[in-house]
Homo-oligomer: A and B are copies of this chain.
Amino acid sequence: MTGPLRGVHRRRDGLRLSDIDDGGPTGLIAVDAMGADADPRVLVDGVARAALAAPRLRYALFGDAGRLAEALEAAPEAAPEVAARVEIRHAPGMVSMADKPSDAIRRADGTSMAAALDCVASGEAAAAVSSGNTGALMALATLRLGRVEGVARPAIAVLWPTIVAGKQTIVLDVGADVKMDARNLAQCASMGSIYAGAGFGVARPRVGLLNIGSEAHKGLSVLREAGERIAAAARSQGYEYVGFIEANDIPMDVVDVAVTDGFTGNVALKAAEGTARLIQNKMRETLKGSPLAMLGGLLAYRALKDMKRSMDPRAVNGGVFLGVRGAVVKSHGSVDAIGFAAALGLATRVGVAGLSGRLAQLIELETAA
């Protein structure tokens, strides 16, 4: 349990912006390396990849020490230089994907998930990343890190690719709170707009509320009430409320923030993932379908590969917990090393740059107002 970072204590919101100089961010990222659908070896490989890209960051891996040491040994990306910055901390317990949040809370002590979160709670780590059970992670994060003052329900925000290169739409909630009232939805609008501003430099974020039509009378009554609350808050909170949007608007860059409840957001996200996989599948078949298509595919290979990379759901993998006191990123459950590295990159961005603390301050201000 001892390691090079023992005794280092940080403010709860991680390092300040001033900690980052030309050598890249410094600090520690806590990783729950067990309990996901993904093999721990894949996660450890993801850590090694992320470590290569951030040469001054350190990583604490929580899980079965024996298995993790083996995985680190075997990781293709883990050069000695990388391995020196990765520390394994034994946490034999595991929250499984099937555990109910209530069960996970009861049995949390000694699990890799709880240990990773505690490492953030103590101020040692700047952020925690897990690809385990979402509901359990949210419940444990809320319990061990605490909620931001004034926030009724934390939310999970993801970045959704758009037609504008390099620009993503923030979508929240995508799975924390499956049933929201109008007040919860309005808080999501606040948190999302603060995230767009502080995290992505959007001066006056455009916020839309996901519905099944843009007409004011459409959809569920809770959405009409939420729309009124959001419209009323927009002016004082410095964002623009554009009204109801539909799910096909999300990638069209008509909003910076799309607000919805955790059930609907999760379904939308999975529907988009499924469609991307369907098209990728058809594409592969198509380019094998005839000699001409094969040749064409070969010539366009690099371009298509670049496109695939720019559209890669793994590159935008990671849901940021908003409304919790500390940086926590949920990675996709059945993730590969590239995807897990992306989630670690997001955690670095949110945690190490102090964004998490700034978000907490701003959210507290707005929800108190």
Q: Which of B175, B248, B269 contacts A277 (CB 8 A)?
A: B248
Give bound CA distance, A162 to B277, whole Å.
Answer: 10
Q: Is B271 a contact of A268 with CB atoms below 8 Å?
A: yes
Segment among A48-56, A302-310, A338-346 that sits at the interface with chain B: A302-310
A270, CB-defined interface residue at 8 Å: yes
Residues of B contacting A269 in the complex (Cβ-Cβ under 8 angstroms)? 247, 271
Does A9 sit within 8 A of B, measured CB to CB? no
- B residues less than 8 Å from A287 (CB atoms): 300, 303
Does A249 interact with chain B (Cβ within 8 Å)?
yes
In the complex, the count of this chain's copies comes to: 2
Give A142 Cβ to nearest chain B Cβ, in Å: 18
Cβ–Cβ contact B302 & A299, under 8 A: no
Assess whether A271 is in contact with B292, with CB atoms less than 8 Å apart.
no
Is A1 in the interface zone, CB < 8 Å from B? no
A247 touches B271 (CB 8 A): yes
A289 beta carbon closer than 8 Å to chain B: yes
Least Cβ–Cβ distance between A228 and chain B, in angstroms:
18
- Tell me the complex Cα distance, A270–B211, Å: 10
CB neighbours of A285 from chain B (8 A): 307
Contact B217 A100 (CB under 8 A): yes
- CB contacts (< 8 Å) of A249 on chain B: these are 274
User: Which A253-274 residues have a C-beta within 8 angstroms of B?
Assistant: 260, 262-264, 266-274
Does A311 count as interface, using CB distance less than 8 angstroms? yes
5 closest A-B pairs by beta carbon, nearest first, are: A296-B300, A296-B299, A248-B274, A293-B303, A247-B270
23 pairs across A/B with beta carbons < 8 Å? Answer: A178-B219, A212-B263, A212-B266, A212-B270, A247-B269, A247-B271, A248-B270, A249-B274, A250-B271, A264-B267, A268-B268, A271-B271, A271-B272, A272-B272, A275-B275, A283-B307, A285-B307, A287-B300, A289-B306, A293-B302, A296-B300, A299-B299, A300-B300
Q: Chain A interface (Cβ within 8 Å of chain B)?
A: 97-98, 100, 135, 161-163, 175, 178-179, 210, 212, 215, 217-220, 246-252, 260, 262-264, 266-279, 281-283, 285-287, 289-290, 292-293, 295-304, 306-307, 310-311
